[in-house]
Structure 1
Amino acid sequence: MTRREDKEAAVRRLLDTPHPSVPGDLARRAAERGSRRLDRVRRMRRALWFLGLVAVTAFVVWASVARPWEVPPAETTPPLEGW
């Protein structure tokens, strides 16, 4: 027998055995599980959007206070005192 024939024979043996019974409420349970998963994904997406908004707001507040785009004053000359 070739390898392909071995695989076909194994598949035929699996198909010839009695199939297990399917629970009657399988579709309902699958739908509930899917809806719970979608709810979890939606909550996670909302939380990430909220955290992103908080991060952007914190950055804007920090940038408006620290003003990192302004050049700091040069302190290369000594202060003029006692003129």
Structure 2
Amino acid sequence: MNRHEHKEEEVRRMLEGSHPHVPGDLAARATARGVRLLHRDRAMRRFWWTLLTLAVFAFVVWASMVRPWEVPPAGTTPPLEGF
């Protein structure tokens, strides 16, 4: 018996046995859990988008105040020669 046949035999053995009893409210519990998971995922997505928006806003405010793209002023003036 090769590996594939062994797996087939194992599956047939499992299917021939008695099936476990399923609680009557299983569908309602699964639906409620799914709704909770969806709400949690939506809340987490909103949280991360809000955090990203605040980070971008903070960066824009910082960049507009510091202006890192401009060359900083020289600490000393160049010597005056030739006058």
Q: TM-score, normalised by structure 1?
A: 0.81
- State the identity as a percent: 65
Residue 24 of structure 1 corresponds to 24
Residue 48 of structure 2 corresponds to 48
Structure 1 gaps, min length 5: none
> What RMSD, in angstroms, separates the aligned Cα atoms of the two structures?
2.0
Alignment of 1:4-83 (within 5 A): 4-75=4-75, 77=77
Count of matched residue pairs: 80
Alpha-carbon displacement from aligned partner over 1:19-39 (angstroms, at most 9, x marks no partner): 001111111011001000000
Q: TM-score, normalised by structure 2?
A: 0.81
| 1:59 partner amino acid | F
Name the CA shift for 1:54/1:4 in 2 (closer, same or farther; >3 Å): closer
| 1:61 partner amino acid | V
State the distance in 2 between where 1:4 and 1:59 align: 59
| 1:20 partner amino acid | P
Instruction: Could you list the structure 1 runs, at least 4 aligned residues long, displaced by more than 3 angstroms after superposition.
Output: 1-5, 75-80
The alpha-carbon deviation at position 4 of structure 1 amounts to 3.4
